[in-house]
Amino acid sequence: MKILTVVGARPQFIKAAAVSNVIRKEHKEILVHTGQHYDENMSKVFFEELQIPKPDYNLEIGSGNHGEQTGRMLIDLEKIYLKEKPDLVLVYGDTNSTLAGALCASKLLIPVSHVEAGLRSFNMNMPEEQNRILTDHISKLLFVPTATAQNNLHNEGITKGVYNVGDVMFDAVINFKKLAEEKSHIVKELSLENKNYILTTIHRAENTNDINRLKNIIEALNESNKDVVLPLHPRTKKYIENYGLKFNKNVKLINPVGYLDMISLEMNSEKIVTDSGGVQKEAFFMKKPCITMRDETEWVETVQNGWNVVVGTDKSKILNSVLNFQPNISQKSIFGSGKASYKVLDTINNIFK
């Protein structure tokens, strides 16, 4: 069986590292990298560290407006699909690469498999929400990470082809955590051995594109007087410079890091402050209190379980949570057993045998 996998952004590389490794034991996989994330620290390093096979195709699309970026992907993907004639197209998550990969396959009547289906923020202003809903409604196989995601699909009338396999990112953390402990030296290099720093990520457009939201975030981090480590996304850096915003000396800005370094920073942190969906989950996997700087989250289970608090970009809420938030209950197992990748493979085998 020939499976064509489309990836294009950091979270998808992590998921593919877990799933592709399993798929290639039994099937031929064609890996297509759209080039949506093209910075070396956000792309190449992930393929090297996670031992992801070199992409068979790299479209090198780069950045651009949503329509332009997605359209260029569709044009190039269609040529590849017609040439390779895959039996199944596999897409991950909720990026423009996800939508383009799924839509192109659907138009050519190639079955689509969506890993991490069923997530909903219920905020249609988010491009990611539009991408995930459209992808779910044209997919034949929908691999959901949680019961909540499965229920979201049921509420939209999608009941066939839905499989709760658990979270493939949990697989990745389990697989690479020990490797990170052995190979990553970033904590020592940044003199963070005391483990009382706050790890922060800021990249979501709703925060970076709004000067008031970004200003509130930066001021809260500055006023916390806590040691903050911030791997700075290139787009976030551009907006900070354009707005003329400044960090205090307690905030250590570093370049984007690879997956092993990121795991190491998460493992050794005191708390995690983020607007990333994937980092919210990784915080939960690492048993770290998470403060989410968004108005909603797809990962409601982490909030319900008491390990994540959603604060938006209210400066006082961010600051108070950084200083005071502590989970007071033990974690429940809500993301599966760490074998989601094998369940994906088993399901594909059963459906297409």
Q: What is the CATH number for 346?
A: 3.40.50.2000
Average pLDDT over residues 308-337: 95
If asked whether residues 210 and 107 sit together in one domain, one would say no
189: its two tokens: 């290099």
- Per-residue pLDDT for 141 more than 60? yes
pLDDT of residue 307: 97
Q: How far apart are CA 167 and CA 327, in angstroms?
A: 22
Residue 331 lies in a domain: no
If asked whether residues 302 and 227 sit together in one domain, one would say yes
If asked whether residues 103 and 210 sit together in one domain, one would say no
Task: Report residue 9's pLDDT band, with 50, 70 and 90 as the boundaries.
Answer: confident
* Beta pairing partners, 308: 290
Do the beta carbons of residue 295 and residue 271 sit within 8 Å? no
Bigger pLDDT: 77 or 63? 77
- Per-residue pLDDT for 247 more than 60? yes
If asked whether residues 99 and 138 sit together in one domain, one would say yes
CA torsion sign for 174, 176, 182, 188 is: negative
How many folded domains does the chain comprise? 2
Residue ranges making up the domain that contains 12: 2-167+336-352
Residue 69 lies in a domain: yes
If asked whether residues 53 and 155 sit together in one domain, one would say yes
H or E element in which residue 106 lies: helix 96-107
If asked whether residues 128 and 203 sit together in one domain, one would say no
- pLDDT, tens only, 29-63: 999 999 876 555 556 777 788 878 889 999 988 77
pLDDT of residue 19: 96
Q: Which of 33, 114, 203, 233 is catalytic?
A: 203
Residue 329 lies in a domain: no
H or E element in which residue 170 lies: helix 168-183
pLDDT of residue 37: 63
For 309, other C-beta atoms within 10 Å of its C-beta total 18
If asked whether residues 153 and 270 sit together in one domain, one would say no
If asked whether residues 52 and 141 sit together in one domain, one would say yes
If asked whether residues 179 and 160 sit together in one domain, one would say no
Task: Report residue 328's pLDDT band, with 50, 70 and 90 as the boundaries.
Answer: confident
Residue 113 lies in a domain: yes
Share of the chain above pLDDT 70, in %: 97
Residue 330 lies in a domain: no
If asked whether residues 119 and 258 sit together in one domain, one would say no
Average pLDDT over residues 219-237: 95
pLDDT of residue 182: 92
For 305, other C-beta atoms within 10 Å of its C-beta total 17
Q: What is the mean pLDDT of the chain?
A: 94
- Per-residue pLDDT for 235 more than 90? no
- pLDDT, tens only, 84-107: 999 999 999 999 999 999 999 999
233 labelled catalytic: no
Q: Which range has the worst mean pLDDT, 76-80, 244-248, 326-330?
A: 326-330
Q: Position 219: which residue type?
A: E
Task: Report residue 185's pLDDT band, with 50, 70 and 90 as the boundaries.
Answer: very high
Residue 250 lies in a domain: yes
If asked whether residues 192 and 313 sit together in one domain, one would say yes
If asked whether residues 280 and 314 sit together in one domain, one would say yes
pLDDT of residue 39: 57
pLDDT of residue 11: 86
The pTM for the full model equals 0.90
